Amino acid sequence: MPLYHDDDQAMLADSARQFMAEEGSIKKQLRHWRDRDCKDGFGHALWEQFGEMGFTGILVDEDDGGLGMGHVEAGIVLEEIGRNLTPSPFLTSSVLAATALKHGGDDIKGRYLPGLIEGKSVFSVAIDEGPKHRPETIRTRAEKSGNGFRLTGQKDFVLHGASSDMLVVAARTSGSDDEPEGITLFAVPKDAANMSHDAVRLVDSSMATHTKFDGVELDGDAVIGEVDGGREILNAMLKAGRVGAAAEGVGVAGGAMDMTVDYLKQRKQFGKLIGEFQALQHRAAHLYSEVEIARAVVVKAQQLLDGDSEKADLMSSVAKAKVSQAAGLAVREGVQMHGGIGMTDEYDIGLYMKRDRALSEYLGDAYYHAGRVAELSGY
Amino acid sequence: MPLYHDDDQAMLADSARQFMAEEGSIKKQLRHWRDRDCKDGFGHALWEQFGEMGFTGILVDEDDGGLGMGHVEAGIVLEEIGRNLTPSPFLTSSVLAATALKHGGDDIKGRYLPGLIEGKSVFSVAIDEGPKHRPETIRTRAEKSGNGFRLTGQKDFVLHGASSDMLVVAARTSGSDDEPEGITLFAVPKDAANMSHDAVRLVDSSMATHTKFDGVELDGDAVIGEVDGGREILNAMLKAGRVGAAAEGVGVAGGAMDMTVDYLKQRKQFGKLIGEFQALQHRAAHLYSEVEIARAVVVKAQQLLDGDSEKADLMSSVAKAKVSQAAGLAVREGVQMHGGIGMTDEYDIGLYMKRDRALSEYLGDAYYHAGRVAELSGY
Amino acid sequence: MAEQLESFRKETRDWLEANCPPEMRQPVRDEGDVYWGGRNATFKNDAQKQWFEACRDKGYTVPDWPKEYGGAGLSPAEAKVLRQEMAAINARPPLSSFGIWMLGPALLHFGTEGQKQRFLNEIARGEIRWCQGYSEPGSGSDLVSMQTFGEDKGDHWVVNGQKIWTSYADEADWIFCLVRTDKDDKYKGITFMLFDMASDGVSTKPIKLISGNSPFCETFMDDVKVPKSYGEDVPGYVGEINRGWDVAKYLLGHEREMISATGGGDRATSLGAATSRQGELDPVLRAQMALFDIDALSFTAMSEKFMDELKAGKGHPAQPNMLKYAGTELNKRRNELMMSAGGSTALEWESEETSGGKTARGWLRTKANSIEGGTSEVMLNVIAKRILELPGA
Amino acid sequence: MAEQLESFRKETRDWLEANCPPEMRQPVRDEGDVYWGGRNATFKNDAQKQWFEACRDKGYTVPDWPKEYGGAGLSPAEAKVLRQEMAAINARPPLSSFGIWMLGPALLHFGTEGQKQRFLNEIARGEIRWCQGYSEPGSGSDLVSMQTFGEDKGDHWVVNGQKIWTSYADEADWIFCLVRTDKDDKYKGITFMLFDMASDGVSTKPIKLISGNSPFCETFMDDVKVPKSYGEDVPGYVGEINRGWDVAKYLLGHEREMISATGGGDRATSLGAATSRQGELDPVLRAQMALFDIDALSFTAMSEKFMDELKAGKGHPAQPNMLKYAGTELNKRRNELMMSAGGSTALEWESEETSGGKTARGWLRTKANSIEGGTSEVMLNVIAKRILELPGA
């Protein structure tokens, strides 16, 4: 498959670009909700519009009422989300949770997918335990209890945790903390007793929770897939999530870069447009190259994932790491080249820096994925 | 002690600078010997001149006929050696071996120091085993044999090995390969039976050997210091060697940088001196800062070493690593900014790149020392 | 000489023991712990008041200023002893002010005797709080292109324009301010004026930063009357009329030294060691930490070396530029790594656990380091021109 | 269509099976394995001769050139099949030449029918070996400032000057050479001339590189007579007189694409995996390897993407500049890391163990990557101007 968008994908990109620029703009969404100290960190009305656009069900099979598209298409939406810093539960609901539900039975799909597709339901995923992403270790335990399970433990960095209708929780049903096997995924409804959220606002104004499961009783039908068979689903979720976050990151990088290049063409100092200074030109040109490289590897990883390739795992980590590096460069250069006003809350460039930081950390930072690349490559 | 040279040191620096520029120049020494395919890789006459200048005995105690100076002074000579790429056995003989001999008895000192001070003897040190510097592991064994020892093993990257009158060899007299203790240092004379050198020319035109000890019989008086007490001496040698190599590296960096800055002021392209291009100006200014930072940390490490500070070990690794990074930048920027002619053998800038590479590797590269910094700092 | 110093050290120790209350022997935790002085100043507690007054009376708010201007007239060696002894007991600065850091040095160098008598004493006694009016929205790196204009009306100017990045303008009593007084000469057309922030026509507006609320303000001047004289030998400007750029340059150099002196963050500690206490470091992050620590420890050595050279009169005038460039870039990198080590906890913006997002806000705040007091790009230009003597524009 | 291709694939496979000797199915190990053709060419062995002649007769030395010029007239799709099938059996290129890579494309685009008939056939049949005369000692990045001058003498020019970086000038039969023919117009005063290296007044001198001996030469022209015509419809220059810069620019773009296509080194393998086979990696070096592998794998994706876009006519004209910039910088970094992994063994310059310092020489050779075919600085200028449309000089 050529590494560019086919005609259908280009059409989707056009409509996503237009929609997000109009409805999902920084002014209309991110600043709006942030300045009102919104406890969700995003707008439910916009989420319903996502549903109307069909975005919510991009990765859901047609048989289940979705569009049955792939990660290239999901990435198209995510890149525009990134470019406009649009706050939404798309990544957690339509990518991560949707990937989990793909592995569930008809019953659980029927329970949750219609709400997702309509943009009425918000889903979260609870994977991390502790401040760094280490999905190899799962300590949260689900013990047999009656004909169901009893969930005990704590999850961190649960994006939209307090706003979600259902949380996909990775818990251990057997084995020791570091064992690959023995993981089961549960769909925990928001009204589950003994589940509590400590919601905190993050640097990018999104909301995340430390979520406690203090003996949460779950029916057997809360299990997604098979008992003890969750690791494979979790891996699928992580691959999808990394590639999705990387696509969003390319949007963040591109948005920050475009703002900055525009600024270089407007701001004058020493009687010249600052974009005339060769030192800044070379830095901008280097940045452009890095962003283009990041953009390319994301498409590559998306296609590998859509093609169910063995290389998708490696390339999902490569993509996540590369985007993190390129977007980090984009926002740092962006803020520096904007000079003093880049430091003010009034200008948007700082918002890109904040989002990049949170997104880079989500599902593993560049250092984590570099280690993964080394391990997967056998060194 | 202030971090600059006092009056005596400044005088020494003046005379070293003048001497090395005149007698140790690239044309007179490095290219001269290289183009004649000299099997020593350096000139013995120059080494005797080092002796006449008093350089050879800088670190040797006055009681033993030396100047009794410190690492700041040795570093002054080394920086000029670096700046002129002067091939000489100064680092191995007057720094590493001299540090070892400091820990020896009067007998061994009497045997070797006069020749060193006169610039008539050349000493090598045999530490590394394998392509990377890993002095924590010593596999070469010295077993009791009669009233002496029998040495078996192989050492690599022995600079000037085939030209040396005596080799300081670190060998294991007890314990297993990775144990800190159980090391003894031996002064092995050049005519020792069953010692063989495989001499190879290195990228910087210096000569190094793979040296084999195939049951070399040594008298007990070949031991430097105490049997099984060599680790401490070895550590002292390594600290001195790292700081010395770092000082030489500052000279290499400074020489490459100065050549490059001069070139920026001479070469015209697009109707301008290329030094007028801001992108190159900023890179040159960044490089200058890095070289100054490297220069400062070397003086700091020298003073700590001379003051026998506990911090000297950490800072010797910091200095070696920092210089390696700064000098690497200097030679890479130097070659690139020289453009096509920088790639030709006719111009000297490439010689700086070659020396930097060999010097960076000697006694541990930046990565090795970064790991050491982390360990010594407890992480 | 050394004996005299030792006896001074003994005296100082005794004096500090007697005068510095225990509450003032703790590191400054937040803005509330800093005493800025000024017309409207209030003390946070009795200890702060007691400590300030003891220092003021002893001349220790500005120990190395001459006694006649409110200082203690200490020699550099004595001032160093005092700093060491204060550091030894963690004594807080009794008074912080841009008057001490910025205007004072300018007046000591350029001021008239009358200005020194009045303004330095006011500063030393914490009576007047000053702010600084340099940058304008259109004039950042290219400061000399500033447009705020003072029309000459004989015995006064009428000033119109806008300044930006005036720290604490909303709390300051007076401002020292660059004003264009000759539109025909870029460099020799600026006057370094002094005026009361309570003057008619002065208004301020705080600037919110990406790191949150900040001391920075925009300051607007709308037909502000600035007298040319505040009395005998007390001109309303520093140096000569139209030669304020000389004063400004002198102060910029001073500011860069100050900023570079704090660059690189807390140099005594290894970043890797500090962050690894939060949990095991990822191996790749550990490698980056080690490479950072090497750079940071090396930078500290250069910083020390320059200070030593400066004291010995061996310093190169462009050295502060290098310190500022390298120090601020390093500090940004340090904070990036701290964020990485902190993971999702470090992302928290308002939580109690993070004291209101301290790590994240600190990280964002460091991004200004390479802009304020001269951008990294300007520093590199200066190094290229002044040290390397590279040609051309 | 697909069926036709499949039948072509089958034929090709059979043809290769029958015509490519086993000795030619091994990777090229050194210069001796390359057949460059030319007047004085000799074959290393029978297999090389047999393989070359089979390809020459089939038009497979230049498979996508038209049959009348010595090619096989393959469509792009067929040429790709041939490349794939040759790669599948590791078949060596039957003929290497700057005529194929550089002059050929220029003649196909700018040449007269007579030039194509003569020169393309000579190239395709390996009869004439060409070299390239572009750079001069004073004209590197600023190529258009070149000074080699051709004085117009009616039916010929008399050329004087010096070229540098003429690869294999000492072994080439003819040269395509940029010569100034009008001193008044920088761009429109250059002619793209063709002449015999055996002409009176041409001399060459090899250039030794930091990596050792090299194919590069200096070429001196001392009153060299270059005819304006070599016969009917065969001008002694390509394109128009004084418009050789158009030809040069076209070829520079072509060269950058070629260099960038090989940039980044062997992309299929992980550097970390390859080097860790030599022994356990230091943890900090391992981290740098992993960060490199991420960049290299990502670059490969971009490279692939651009090729796909190019084929689909979606490419941006400045993309080769980006590929060249990023690819060559990456290749330099790759070789630095390889040297680090190799340790003191990699430093060896002449030892047998290192095949005569292969790692070290290869490392040094990569330093030219970011200079030849346009420096990284020129690439960044082009990206800034042509893609980002930044203003000014």
Which residue in B31, B124, B197, B336 has the most chain D C-beta atoms within 10 A of its own C-beta, making it the best mutation to test that interface? B336
The parent domain of residue D138 ranges over 130-243
Distances (CA, A) of D209 to B259, C289, D215: 18, 38, 9
Q: Residue D282 domain-assigned?
A: yes
Cα(B287)–Cα(C174) distance, integer angstroms: 42
d(CA D166, CA D195): 14
CATH number of the domain to which C44 belongs: 1.10.540.10
Rounded Cα gap, residues C123 and C110, in angstroms: 16
**Chain center to CA of D218:** 18
Q: Are residues C309 and C360 in the same domain?
A: yes
Instruction: Give the residue from D243, D271, D286 where a domain finishes.
Output: D243
Distance CA B288, CA B311 (A): 27
Q: Residue holding tokens 């190239």?
A: D123
Same domain, D150 and D73: no
Based on the fold, state whether residues C379 and C295 are members of the same structural domain: yes
Q: Where are any strands of DSSP class E within A120-204?
A: 123-126, 141-145, 148-159, 166-172, 183-189, 195-201
Residue among C137, C282, C360 minimizing CB distance to A371 = C282
Please give, one letter per residue, the 3-state secondary structure of C96-148.
Answer: CCHHHHHHHHHHHHHCCHHHHHHHHHHHHCCCCCEEEECCECCECCCHHHCCC
Statement to judge: residues D153 and D227 lie in one domain = yes
Q: What is the CATH number of the domain that holds D82?
A: 1.10.540
Least CA distance to A134: which residue of chain C?
C282
The answer to whether D288 and C287 are in contact (CB under 8 A) is: yes
Contact (CB<8Å) A275/D272:
no
Residue C9 domain-assigned (yes or no): yes
Residue with the bigger pLDDT between C353 and A159: it is A159
Residue B88's alpha-carbon distances to B55, B255, B256, D355, in angstroms, are 12, 17, 19, 27
Least CB–CB distance from B353: residue in D164, D210, D288: D210
pLDDT tens per residue across span D188-240: 999 999 999 999 999 999 999 999 999 999 999 999 999 999 999 999 999 99
Residue A198 CB contacts under 8 Å (≥ 6 apart), including other chains:
A209, A210, A211, A212
Structure tokens at A209: 């929770």
Q: What is the largest CA-CA distance in chain B?
A: 78
Q: What is the ipTM of this complex?
A: 0.94
Torsions phi, psi for D7 (to 5 deg): -75, -35
Residue C145's contacts (CB-CB under 8 Å, 6 or more residues apart) are A269, A270, A271, C138, C139, C186
Indicate whether C89 and C8 sit together in one domain.
yes
For tokens 């690894």, name the residue: C276
Nearest to C377 among A133, A279, A357 (CB): A279
pLDDT at D30: 82
Q: Is residue D109 part of a domain?
A: no
B349 near B260, Cβ under 8 Å?
yes
Closest CA in chain B for residue D209 = B344
All residues of chain C having their beta carbon less than 8 Å from the beta carbon of residue B285 are 325, 379-381, 383-384, 387-388
The pLDDT of residue D265: 42
Nearest chain B Cα to C381, which residue?
B282
- The whole-angstrom separation of Cα C75 and Cα A335 is 43
Are residue D211 and residue D268 in the same domain, yes or no?
Answer: no
SS3 D354: coil
Give the number of B-C residue pairs with CB atoms closer than 8 Å. 142
Rounded Cα–Cα distance for residues C299 and C326 (Å): 8
Contact B95, B241 (CB under 8 A): yes
Number of H helices and number of E strands within chain D?
13, 8
| Phi and psi torsions of C377, nearest 5° | -65, -40
CA dihedral of B98, B102, B108, B111, whole degrees rounded to 10: 40
- Domains in chain A and their CATH numbers? 7-122 (1.10.540.10), 125-228 (2.40.110.10), 232-376 (1.20.140.10)
The per-residue pLDDT for D259 is 60
Q: Write down the pLDDT at residue C373.
A: 85
* Contact criterion met (CB < 8 Å) for B322 and C294: yes
Is the same domain home to C280 and C369? yes
Q: Please report the residues numbered 351 through 380 in chain D whose beta carbons come closer than 8 angstroms to any beta carbon of chain B.
A: 351, 357, 360, 363-364, 367-368, 370-372, 375-377, 380
Interface of C with D in 291-310 (CB under 8 A): 291
Neighbours of chain D (3+ CB pairs under 8 A): A, B, C
Residues D149 and D183 grouped into a single domain: yes
Query: Considering the domain boundaries, does residue D153 fall inside one?
Result: yes
DSSP D227-264: ESBSSTT-BSEESSTTBHHHHHHHHHHHHHHHHHHHTT
Domain count across chain C: 3
Using CA coordinates, name the residue in chain D closest to B358.
D347
- Looking up residue D214, the CATH number of its domain turns out to be 2.40.110.10
CA angle at residue C264 from C259 to C270, to 5 degrees?
155
Cα–Cα nearest to C299, from B292, B331, B312, B285: B292
Residues B7-39 pLDDT 10s:
999 999 999 999 999 999 999 999 999 999 999
User: For A119-137, what is each residue's pLDDT tens digit?
Assistant: 999 999 999 999 999 999 9
CA distance D102 to D177: 12
Alpha carbon distance B72, A192 (integer Å): 70
Distance between A222 CA and the closest CA of chain B, angstroms = 43
CA–CA gap between residue D366 and residue A122 (Å, rounded): 53
How close A369 comes to chain C (CA, Å)? 9
List CB contacts (< 8 A) between C289 and chain D. Answer: none
- The tokens for C1 are 């000489």
Q: Is residue C121 part of a domain?
A: no
Domain annotation covers residue D217: yes
Distance of alpha carbon D373 from its chain centroid, rounded? 9
SS3 C27: coil
Tell me the per-residue pLDDT of A97-107, one tens digit each, with 9 for 90 and over.
999 999 999 99
Q: What is the CA angle A220-A221-A222, rounded to 5?
A: 90
C324 within 8 A of C379, measured Cβ to Cβ: yes
Residues D162 and D81 placed together within one structural domain of the fold: no
D90 and D134 fall within a common domain:
no
- Spatial CB neighbours of A220, under 8 Å, sequence gap ≥ 6: A147, A148, A149
Q: How close is the nearest chain B Cα to the Cα of A277, in Å?
A: 7
Provide the 3-class DSSP secondary structure of residue C35. Answer: coil
Per-residue pLDDT of chain C (393 residues; tens, 9 = 90+): 678 999 999 999 999 999 999 999 998 888 889 999 999 999 999 999 999 999 999 999 999 999 999 999 999 889 989 999 999 999 999 999 999 999 999 999 999 999 999 999 999 999 999 999 999 999 988 999 999 999 999 999 999 999 999 999 999 999 999 999 999 999 999 999 999 999 999 999 999 999 999 999 999 999 999 999 999 999 999 999 999 999 999 988 777 766 655 544 445 578 999 888 777 899 999 999 999 999 999 999 999 998 888 878 888 878 889 999 999 999 999 999 999 999 999 999 999 999 999 999 999 999 999 999 899 999 999 999 999 999 985
- Does one domain contain both C162 and C87? no
Contact between A100 and A168 (Cβ < 8 Å): yes
Question: Exposed, middle or buried: residue D40 (CB in 10 Å: 0-12, 13-18, 19+)?
Answer: exposed
How many Cβ atoms from other residues are within 10 Å of residue A137's Cβ? 12
* Residues above pLDDT 90, as percent of chain B: 99
Q: Is A225 helix (H, G, I), strand (E, B) or coil?
A: coil
Minimal Cβ distance to C390: which of B275, B296, B369: B275
Mean pLDDT taken over chain B: 97
pLDDT of residue C259: 61
Low-confidence ranges of chain D (pLDDT < 50): 263-266
pLDDT digits (tens, 9 = 90+) for A275-315: 999 999 999 999 999 999 999 999 999 999 999 999 999 99
Q: Tokens standing for A8?
A: 């259908």
Beta strands in chain C (DSSP E): 130-133, 149-152, 156-167, 174-180, 190-196, 202-206, 216-227, 237-238
Q: With 80 as the cut, is the pLDDT of residue B173 above it?
A: yes
User: Is D250 part of any domain?
Assistant: no
Q: Across the interface, do C380 and B275 touch by the CB < 8 Å criterion?
A: no
| D362, part of any domain | yes
Q: Which residues of A touch B278 (CB under 8 A)?
A: 277-279
Torsions phi, psi for B233 (to 5 deg): -65, -45
CB contact D264 to A (< 8 Å): no
| Candidates C284, C292, C294, partner chain D, best to mutate (most D CBs within 10 A) | C284
Does C229 lie in the same domain as C145?
yes
Q: Which of D272, D326, D391 sits opposite A265 (nearest CB)?
A: D391
User: Residue A273: which pLDDT band, with cuts at 50, 70 and 90?
Assistant: very high
Contacts of B282 in chain A (CB under 8 A): 279
* Distance in angstroms (rounded) separating the CA atoms of residues B150 and B70: 35
Closest by Cα among B292, B280, B283 to B253: B292
- Judge whether residue B98 has pLDDT over 50: yes
Phi, psi of D319 (to 5 degrees): -60, -40
